[in-house]
Structure 1
Amino acid sequence: MNRTGASRPLRAAESQPGESAIRPFRRLWIALSLSSLGHWLSVPALTALAGTLTRGDDLPVRAQAIAGVLVLMVLPALLLGPLAVLVAGRLDRRITMAVVDVVRFALVLSVPLVDAVPWTLAAAFLVAFATLLWIPVAGGALPALVDGEPEERYEEARRSLLRGVYGSAPVAAVLFAVLALIADAVFGVAERADLAVYATAVVFLVAAAVTFTARELSAVDAGAARAPGLGTMSAPLKLLFQGQRRSGRALPDGPPVAGAGADAEQAGAHAAVPPGAGAIRGLALAGTVIALPAAALIAVARLHARDLGGGDAGYGSLLGGLAIGAAFGLFLGPRMLAPFSRRRLLGLAVITAALALVPVALVQNLAVVVFLAAFLGLACGVAWAVGTRLAGDAARSYAYLRALALVTGLIAVAAVPPLAGLIGAHRISLGEAVYDLGGPGVALLIVAVLSVPAAVVAFRRLDDRRGIPLPPDLSAALRGHVYTPPEQAEAGPAVVRDRGVFIAFEGGEGAGKTTQARLAAIWLRDHGYDVVSTQEPGATKIGMRLRAMLLDRETTGLSARAETLLYAADRADHVANVIRPALERGAIVVTDRYVDSSLAYQGFGREQNVSAIARVNAWAIGGLLPDLTVLLELPPEQGLGRLASPADRIESEPPEFHERVREGFHALAEADPDRYLIVDASRPQAEITREIQYRIREILPDPIPSGTEDVTSTFPAITDA
């Protein structure tokens, strides 16, 4: 049913949409980058101004003023996202983006003119709320601009915009540090913080002018739900509660399904605590620990920099180090230590981020602390990149982890600065030496003490190679291969398994599962494995006849139950005559679709009793489940748009059907996460293939000899069923 082909990589010159859209795209990129630069710059500018306005007060008052600005800049995203979408979706895109930037310009400009803490706090809240209006409108600009362009060009253009939006964060931190140095040399103490605020206002004004000249952006996004690629706008608190329930939520007309082939008793036994729940909790805990050290450092960065003698320039340097490190981490995360377990890498990154906060709190040299902040940011960036990949569905995982980060960040910025003010400065005598430990340093140390144990727990819950020592595993990954324990290495390739390895590829129409299943089979055969590549329906002679009936658009009047039973009949013949014999002789079976397709299509898509379908298929397959199920996730409208041939009977179903199928696959994967690998299929084909190959390595019967791929120059034939 899937006819996705390989897509060629884009050259650097083709990073924009088609020739007719290059100039509008550049205007959009410049407008979004400038507006984002103003947004990131407003954070240190307003917090520094709040600190300056309270410079005559004691530490608790200054800490509370800075905390107030940060809390009010985070709070709208936590509470008012859906309201902002509702308002923004009814307005002209170009006018709205320009007006929002003008409003932010006026608000920021008014802060040094009013020169009062209450208005600084109010302006921070209003600027953050205006940003919420800007996000969904800006996010909807690219799809309208490149409408009709090839999917690969759209994806590359989207990534280019994301680099501009988030890449402006380290630029803003460095710019703030430079402006602070200039202000220190030119202005008095009372006016030094004003220069950065005025610069922020100018950036917003220039962004508004650029946006206003881009007439191609004019359109109305009625009913827009989110900003694609720029961050979802769902209510974070609602997402958090949904996230806790997702892995065990009820399926239509029945209890949660523990596995595709589970019978009724098995489904009931796993309904309360689904398999892999520990890994899900570990990922959620990791997301929390990632955000806590970074948010705590941001919250007290100005106070800590002042204790270290750095002033606002030191404050900007701390933020710059953290942001630059995070940017490198986001880039390196998916590429780091390819043979190493992604779950272990996430756990190590989280532990590293928590531990890095200890020297940040204790070291008294600003330059060293800036370097350590960059190292902390690097660990957070790697953890975020790997964590979102492990979570699977790009939009949903980003929304859930973003919600965790927002709530954790809000708690940190609300609690850590007042805690620092309450603790105050302390002088410790160490013989003849004297050690000055400020309140911000003690507060960061407390956060580190809380974060490290939580990070260790997250690592243990995420670890998918228990029993394998960490140091040699990491050392082997640094050398480019997977670590094999000595007892397994001595056994060599003569190790005999009770059966082979069973891998299934699942996904909606056009997601690329047929292509990836074929590439996986070729890759395995290149490494010397006996591979059987097969598919459903139609892997046997009887199955070919059933396939013709099931997919032919001329087949009309077939009831949903009859369709379900025909798929089950094909699967029973497939297992008996192809899959099980291959597994019994020790082969690796790679199938394009298996039992989860029936649960997703005939269960969720046709809105039938999923548990009843699971029981029928459990009997048909004799309880045989894949060792690994690769779910290629793609929005239905994108997948169906990839199909080149006329749609078959299933592909021609309405969009609502395919959306239910997508939700069904998600429910099944979340109920059995240890068996599933969820892959974002909108990424480049080569990147998807590497991720799948890494996951397959973990379940192969024998270690893959290092260097095997280097000597492979042909594509050997694969045994097809």
Structure 2
Amino acid sequence: MSQPEHSPPAGLAGDVRGVLAITAFRRLWSTFALSSFGDWLGILATTSLAGTLATSPAAEYLAVSGIFILRLAPAIVFGPLAGALADRFNRRTVMIVGDGLRFLLICTIPLVGTLWWLYVATLLIECVGLFWAPAKEAAMPNFVPRDKLETANQLSLVADYGTAPVAALLFSGLALVNTPLHAVMPGLDASGDYLALWVDALTFLVSAVVVWTITFPPVAHEVSARAETLWRTIVDGWQFVVRTPLVRGLVAGMLGAFAAGGLVIGLAQRFVKDLGAGAAGYGVLFAMVFLGMALGMALGPRFLAGFSRRRLFGLSLTVAGAVMVVLSLIPNIVIVALVTVVLGAAGGVSWVCGYTLLGLEVEDEVRGRTFAFVQSLVRVVLVGVLAAAPLLAAGFDSLFNLPFTINIGTVSLTYTGAMVTFFVAGIATIITGVLAYRQMDDRKGVPLLSDLSDALRSNTHHDGGHEAGPHPVPGMPGATVPFAAPGGEHPAYDGLPGVFIALEGGDGAGKSTQGALLKQWLESLGRHVVVTREPGGTDAGRAIREIVLHGSHISPRAEALLYAADRAHHVESVVIPALHRGDVVITDRYIDSSVAYQGAGRDLGTDEVLQLSRWATCGLVPTLTVLLDVTPEVGRQRRGDVHDRLESEPDDFHARVREHYLQLAAADPGRYLVIDAALPPEEIHRRVRERLTPLVEVAP
């Protein structure tokens, strides 16, 4: 896509620098970070204070869970209403007033110092946040260019979740320095919760001041689609989930993961107290959970780039359950902190996989409602778990006469109701993960350990197979193309303002028909379109096409090399020059065809074929790959009696090709659009148009 003048260097670092170079956005983003940091610090301080203000162990369980319930419940009831009302007011005003009110409400908590007011203030703070958050989300797109919005959203997520470990570490630090401060400032409590609340309040005051300095771009206020009733959202989402087996399994697994996470959060404060760690230990445990989640989200899918996302979802849930069991059996704060990182990582991987698969499986017209339904149901489950967890822990205390201490030599292990609850929840999560794995397994017959080993080996091979940094574009002095990262993360391209679309799928999928329809539509938008194919997009390619598809027998390796030779010449002489002009290039087949047909179909090894194709193309990756998914049976019927060498292969060959196509798409959903090729051509074209419109609606 076309780049703004004086654009920063390509790549994630360059994009981040480019977005943060916008002064107004940088200031706005700093308010996101401050408010998110304040939210996390407030959660820690209020839950810790609730436990301190409780009058008995059973009441302590309920007091801490009460804080979480009050933070979640308002969004279930008032979330859609707050989102609609926030769009009717000036967003800058909403954010300033919201931060100011939260500052005042937090200040009242240590001043009043009672449990009942802690509950009231928590409820009011959360209600104010319901207006602040949609105002922030709606304002952000007005501060950055359209092509930088994705990077801005990534930075927003960093502010939302990346500040959690920082807040947890600060909470632990404040708890440690509170003792000497308490001696000279009697207004502070002994545990340090009041000190954390004062710091929390200060973050919202600073955020309000920063927003005050920002000039918001003028916008026309319209009633948002969020005005749709929660009931309508729930009904539409529920209907889709119920009638779609895979989505049903995904939602059940995600709810199980959130339920386990909610149980850990609800009992963590009492759990670390049982371990003798106090408020500092609570902060460390909180930090370890979110550190693990960040690592899992960022690194898990990358290290297992070639591993089935359906398998990974169930596997990560199972691992999370097993870690919870370990957590419950070894009551030692040091070991618990280390194990909690693994628990968070498993949860982060399952979170990414679950939402990725939902995005792949749910049609665009119901995707928003389905996600809204899932998010609402998650909150309901969390509230239920947070309410039930302390009751379960207290019940186990009473039923088994806990705490109970076991002496093993010089080591003493003390078990409480919270630990028994963790154990039971861990077993339940393992069962949920195994059931999700069995229902969603798309590699039946392939041993799990072998599949994992292949994925890890493939990732290691890729990491060592490419020279780091940008590579020169053939025939384009000054233009560079970085190699695509393993796992399908495609980079931005300096000096290539065009749009590159690849049509992929088995023989008989209808790629030629869709290419013609796309060309007609794009030209009606004023875009210049180049329609080409592989092999055969050049004079040399047509000669190669005759050899590989209609010539005498050639070995599979020779076939792969001929396809790579055609692709290298095709990219250098046709694709890159057109992209350099700003054209839209539509190619019938590209790298994925070689990986699927020669790598998987011919059993040459998908890694080797992928390396060869990336080398031949200097790592050029399509903007969008449209995968027309067709079964071997349907493809055979459509082809009729005329077959080339590949089309004449048996159905098991085409089944391997189709399976690998789907694996490629699952590994990189941001670049793929998977459509059932059995749909009418007009419906397929409509879905492709819908996905492409944001990329091509304005001619460069």
TM > 0.5 fold call: yes
Per-residue Cα deviation, 1:88-144 (whole angstroms, up to 9, x for no partner): 111111111111011111111101111111110111111111111111100011211
Residue in structure 2 matched with residue 211 of structure 1 by the alignment? 211
Q: 1:469 aligns with which of 430, 447, 457?
A: 447
Per-residue Cα deviation, 1:344-397 (whole angstroms, up to 9, x for no partner): 111110111111111222211111111111111100101111111111268566
Residue in structure 2 matched with residue 655 of structure 1 by the alignment? none
| CA-CA distance at 1:295 after TM superposition | 1.1
- What's the secondary structure of 2:414's corresponding residue? strand
Aligned length: 521
CA contact (8 A) 2:41 2:200 kept: yes
CA contact (8 A) 1:91 1:220 kept: no
CA contact (8 A) 1:16 1:156 kept: no
Match status 1:518 vs 2:587? yes
Query: Matches of residues 186-585 of structure 1 in structure 2 within 5 Å?
Result: 186-187=181-182, 190=190, 192-216=192-216, 219=219, 221-225=221-225, 239-246=233-240, 277-392=244-359, 398-424=371-397, 425-429=402-406, 435-480=413-458, 518=587, 521-525=590-594, 529=598, 575=638, 584-585=647-648
CA contact (8 A) 2:92 2:211 kept: yes
Looking at both structures, which has the greater relative contact order when contacts are Cα pairs under 8 Å and sequence separation is at least 6? Answer: 1
- State the distance in 1 between where 2:137 and 2:337 align: 33
Residue in structure 2 matched with residue 113 of structure 1 by the alignment? 111
- State the distance in 2 between where 1:65 and 1:592 align: 50
- What's the secondary structure of 1:436's corresponding residue? strand
| CA-CA distance at 1:595 after TM superposition | 5.0
| CA-CA distance at 1:217 after TM superposition | 5.4
Note the residue ranges of structure 1 that are not aligned, 5 or more in a row: 227-232, 249-272, 483-498, 532-570, 606-630, 645-721
**Distance verdict in 2 for CA 1:431–1:344, change over 3 Å:** closer
**Distance verdict in 2 for CA 1:63–1:456, change over 3 Å:** same
CA contact (8 A) 2:241 2:370 kept: no
- State the distance in 1 between where 2:403 and 2:698 align: 64
**Distance verdict in 2 for CA 1:390–1:18, change over 3 Å:** closer
Residue in structure 2 matched with residue 677 of structure 1 by the alignment? none
| CA-CA distance at 1:235 after TM superposition | 6.8
- What's the secondary structure of 1:309's corresponding residue? coil
- State the distance in 2 between where 1:453 and 1:517 align: 46
| CA-CA distance at 1:174 after TM superposition | 1.8
Residue in structure 1 matched with residue 162 of structure 2 by the alignment? 167
CA contact (8 A) 1:10 1:153 kept: no
- State the distance in 2 between where 1:10 and 1:23 align: 21
- What's the secondary structure of 2:590's corresponding residue? helix
Per-residue Cα deviation, 1:21-48 (whole angstroms, up to 9, x for no partner): 7101111110111111111211111111
Structure 1 letter corresponding to 2:697 = G
**Distance verdict in 2 for CA 1:219–1:450, change over 3 Å:** same
Structure 2 letter corresponding to 1:89 = D
**Distance verdict in 2 for CA 1:175–1:431, change over 3 Å:** closer
| CA-CA distance at 1:415 after TM superposition | 1.0
| CA-CA distance at 1:637 after TM superposition | 6.0
Residue in structure 1 matched with residue 575 of structure 2 by the alignment? none
Structure 1 letter corresponding to 2:447 = P
| CA-CA distance at 1:333 after TM superposition | 3.6
**Distance verdict in 2 for CA 1:372–1:422, change over 3 Å:** same
Structure 1 letter corresponding to 2:35 = S
**Distance verdict in 2 for CA 1:502–1:293, change over 3 Å:** farther
CA contact (8 A) 1:81 1:235 kept: no
- What's the secondary structure of 2:326's corresponding residue? helix
TM-score (norm 2): 0.66
- State the distance in 1 between where 2:166 and 2:396 align: 33
**Distance verdict in 2 for CA 1:336–1:234, change over 3 Å:** farther
CA contact (8 A) 2:97 2:208 kept: yes
Percent of aligned pairs with the same residue? 30
- State the distance in 1 between where 2:189 and 2:203 align: 24
- State the distance in 1 between where 2:81 and 2:238 align: 24
**Distance verdict in 2 for CA 1:17–1:76, change over 3 Å:** farther
- State the distance in 1 between where 2:34 and 2:642 align: 56
CA contact (8 A) 2:675 2:684 kept: no
| CA-CA distance at 1:184 after TM superposition | 4.1
CA contact (8 A) 2:396 2:417 kept: yes
- State the distance in 1 between where 2:200 and 2:91 align: 23
**Distance verdict in 2 for CA 1:461–1:216, change over 3 Å:** same
Residue in structure 1 matched with residue 139 of structure 2 by the alignment? 141
| CA-CA distance at 1:501 after TM superposition | 5.3
Structure 1 letter corresponding to 2:587 = R
Match status 1:178 vs 2:145? no
CA contact (8 A) 1:500 1:584 kept: no
| CA-CA distance at 1:466 after TM superposition | 1.4
Comparing 339-348 and 404-413, the one that deviates more: 404-413
**Distance verdict in 2 for CA 1:129–1:189, change over 3 Å:** closer
| CA-CA distance at 1:280 after TM superposition | 2.1
Per-residue Cα deviation, 1:576-607 (whole angstroms, up to 9, x for no partner): 579977874238799999553546379xx8xx
Residue in structure 2 matched with residue 600 of structure 1 by the alignment? 683
CA contact (8 A) 1:89 1:223 kept: yes
